[in-house]
Structure 1
Amino acid sequence: MRRALITGGRSGLGAACATRLRADGLDVITVDLSPDADVVLDITDASAVHDAVSRIGAVDVLINSAGIVGPNLPLWQVDAADWQRTFDVNVNGLFHVTKAVVPGMIERGWGRIVSMASMAGKDGNPNLSAYSASKAAVIGLTKSLGKELATTGVLVNAIAPAVIETPMNAATSPEVLAHITSLIPMRRVGRADEVAALVAWLVSDELSFSTGAVYDISGGRATY
């Protein structure tokens, strides 16, 4: 049985992915700050991440779903500490976890990594500069790592959702949420289970000739 590690696995997209992958027969381990997680962990702590992955053992599938929205303000009003915190979770935490599991995947000759980016990382959302920039970094990391691992059997891809109905959007101001929802041609927000269905394919054996790619799930918002 393959083992999947899901960061941010106790809520939102991470929880939906955990439900779907368990139904598909994977051994799922959720990582979260929530005390209900299988592994309670702050992914911004590189040492703690290394120790946790060492205890968990072999990881075949990594879903990088942990993330925060960050400040809902114009760039010039963003506090430096809030900017840094957004990158610490959305980018540096993803880096720590990915770095910890990749060597084992290479050694075993098989692995799947899927990271949650965002349409904001492509288009930029007003008053979400830290979030948008951090998700652009996730896209760049995915493209680079996909090329680095292209001949190893480890495939690395990202998903760029538009607005999805998750608890994280409770932290987004109503004005910003209304604006980004209005950009979706289907005129509705997405569902977490729709994202999980895409993830299920990206971590399966059916995926064999795609790496370093970004898959839009945006109700028609994506333009490239």
Structure 2
Amino acid sequence: MNTSNAQPATAVVVGGSTGIGRGIADAWAAHGIETHVFSRSRPTGPGAGRLVWHRLDLRDAEHAKEKLAADMPAHTDLACYSAIYFTSRREPFTQTTESDWLDQFAVNVHGLTWTLRAAMPALRAAGPGLFLHVSSEVVYNAGPHRSGYAATKAAADSLIRSVSQEIEPDEVTFVQTLPTGMVDTPGIRARRPADFDYSGYMTPAAFAPLAVELARTRGRPYSGDVLVVREDATWSSISEALPTSQSRPPTGDHG
């Protein structure tokens, strides 16, 4: 896919080595978009060879800001922020360590801020560029034992909504997306028992059709919207129905 008549499209995915971000990065790369992934770990497995990797640790503020500023492609049509940090298990607010609390803000909020600042000039020049943020149902369903995650994802949602009102949609379109259910990712697997059954979980590939549609349209039909992706890879606006809460009492699988 070539979303620009002038030159091949270029995309950036922060947090694109695994999970939903990887599903989006793979979809863009598979459609001929030069896709750069910024993440702590190098992408591996099928499709990794199509991705341009930049090592990025958002918990190191100075490194992250310098890396994003230096390595952001001068011509960037599409940007996606999918980086995420959550604690190793669900736990009460009073038991969350200060380091975990600060790391959640560093990755889920500050990293998004630094990415917006680094990407905005190129996205505006693309006219319009697309900024896609991977949100979470926790924004709408605050629940017990994940206070840091809820607080930071709500802050990120508010940041995107605010910035989108400062920039004209013919310069940059802002779209958010989130899964309707739990997604099978390495981060989730690290929190589950070895014999856990993932058959009811979504896969990152469910986001591929939406990623392709947003690249094709630069998100124009969905500007300012939050799109909920379902297991069958279809999607709908958050205005149609709020996502189901994934809050539940802690169990042996640590949630």
| TM-score, length-scaled by structure 1 | 0.84
Q: Does 1:40 align with 2:40?
A: no
State the distance in 1 between where 2:14 and 2:218 align. 23
Q: Does 1:26 align with 2:39?
A: no
Give the total of aligned pairs: 215
Q: CA deviation at 1:169?
A: 0.8
Instruction: Say if 1:45 and 1:93, in contact at 8 Å, map to a contact too.
Output: no
Cα-to-partner distance string for 1:111-133 (whole Å, 9 max, x where unaligned): 11111111112112431111122
Work out which of the residue numbers 175, 187, 190 in structure 2 matches 1:168.
187
Instruction: Give the partner amino acid of 1:48.
Output: H
Q: Flag structure 2 segments of 5+ consecutive residues without an equivalent.
A: 1-7, 44-51, 232-240, 246-255
Cα-to-partner distance string for 1:156-203 (whole Å, 9 max, x where unaligned): 1111223111111124467xx99xx9xxxxx93212111232232223
Task: Kindly report structure 1 stretches of 4+ aligned residues shifted beyond 4 Å.
Answer: 44-47, 218-221
Structure 2 equivalent of residue 106 of structure 1: 124
State the distance in 2 between where 1:201 and 1:193 align. 14
Larger radius of gyration: 2
Structure 2 equivalent of residue 191 of structure 1: 203
Cα-to-partner distance string for 1:135-159 (whole Å, 9 max, x where unaligned): 1122111211222223443111111
Query: Equivalent residue of 1:69, what SS?
Result: coil
Instruction: Say if 1:10 and 1:30, in contact at 8 Å, map to a contact too.
Output: yes
Q: How does 1:141-180 map to 2 (within 5 A)?
A: 141-161=159-179, 162-172=181-191
Please tell me the root mean square deviation across aligned C-alpha atoms, in Å. 2.7
| TM-score, length-scaled by structure 2 | 0.74
Structure 2 equivalent of residue 184 of structure 1: none
Structure 2 equivalent of residue 59 of structure 1: 76
Q: Flag structure 1 segments of 5+ consecutive residues without an equivalent.
A: 182-186
State the distance in 2 between where 1:3 and 1:94 align. 19
Query: Equivalent residue of 1:62, what SS?
Result: strand
Q: CA deviation at 1:211?
A: 2.1
Work out which of the residue numbers 142, 148, 156 in structure 2 matches 1:130.
148
Query: Equivalent residue of 1:123, what SS?
Result: coil
Instruction: Give the partner amino acid of 2:184.
Output: E
Indicate the percent of aligned positions where both proteins have the same amino acid. Answer: 25
